[in-house]
Amino acid sequence: MPGAKRTRAQIVGSQLAAQFVSKAGREVVAARKRRRLTQTGLAQVVGLSRPRLAAIEAGQGGGAPLEVWFALAEALDRYLKFAFVRDPLTELVDAGHLAMQELVISVAKAAGWEVQFEAQSRAWDSKRSIDVRLIDRANRRIVIVECWNTFGNVGAAARSSNAKIRDEGQHAVAIAGEGAPFEVGLVWVVRDTKANRELLARYPGVFESRLPGSSAPWLGAITRRFSPPAEPGLIWCDNKTKRLFARRRTGTG
């Protein structure tokens, strides 16, 4: 409607489009010249007139269809991405993982553990982080808690945990002061899903050999600050009921 007030969306859209076509136009010019192409030559490849390409290069390409921009990218062997960023109303990609960490932190704090979220490895040459680090200074214990929402590569997950245990050995010595190094333990907290249960049932030997520690004592260690088992273990997490529970060694659980 003539004279109608523009909406905020229209104003912002116009501003962002102007910024894009100005920058993209300069990119087209630079890429064309690096490839020793003339405006006429590039225009022919993408199906434009030379004056129209000149206008795009001058930052006046706001009316050019999206297919023209992709054609220019293809002709210049440049990557062009057009995509919406994450919708803020959708669940975070790692929301399930965060929920598990939140539950572990909550129950561990209630049990008296000192808790550290996404704790950076203290090894000087490592960029690894620990999902949740639990520290019991009175009893000189450290527990590495690895939360698994889904598994992409079980072998890689096991190797990552091995590296974190090795890294924590340095931390255990560093915080020990004049006393003996802290004991370091590891437990996997795995989300209770059909896929994860089927995975454990399909490869029992893999999980038993990697995580032989008894599950019930590990549950007690996290939730009641009992002495952790000497060997790594696995416990289940139910995000819906906000509950941690022990793994049974028979069947699928």
- Which pLDDT tens digit goes with each residue over 149-166? 988 899 999 998 998 898
Confidence of residue 244 (pLDDT cuts 50, 70, 90): very high
For residue 85, pLDDT beyond 80: no
Q: What is the pLDDT of residue 188?
A: 97
Each residue's pLDDT tens digit, 87-137: 666 555 567 889 999 999 999 999 999 999 988 765 545 567 899 999 999
For the segment 37-65, the average pLDDT, to the nearest whole number, is 94
Residue 47 corresponds to which tokens in the numbers above? 């199906």
Contact 144, 116 (CB under 8 A): no
pLDDT at 250 over 70: no
Report the distance separating Cα 210 and Cα 3, nearest Å. Answer: 71
In the predicted structure, residue 215 carries a pLDDT above the cut 90: yes
Selected residue with higher pLDDT from 175 and 15: 15
Mean pLDDT value across the chain: 89
- 19-34: per-residue pLDDT in tens? 999 999 999 999 999 9
pTM beyond 0.85: the answer is no
Q: Please give the domain boundaries of the chain with CATH numbers for all domains.
A: 8-75 (1.10.260.40), 95-246 (3.40.1350)
In terms of DSSP bridges, do strands 114-120 and 129-136 run parallel, antiparallel, or are they unpaired? antiparallel
pLDDT-based confidence at residue 252 (cuts at 50, 70, 90)? very low
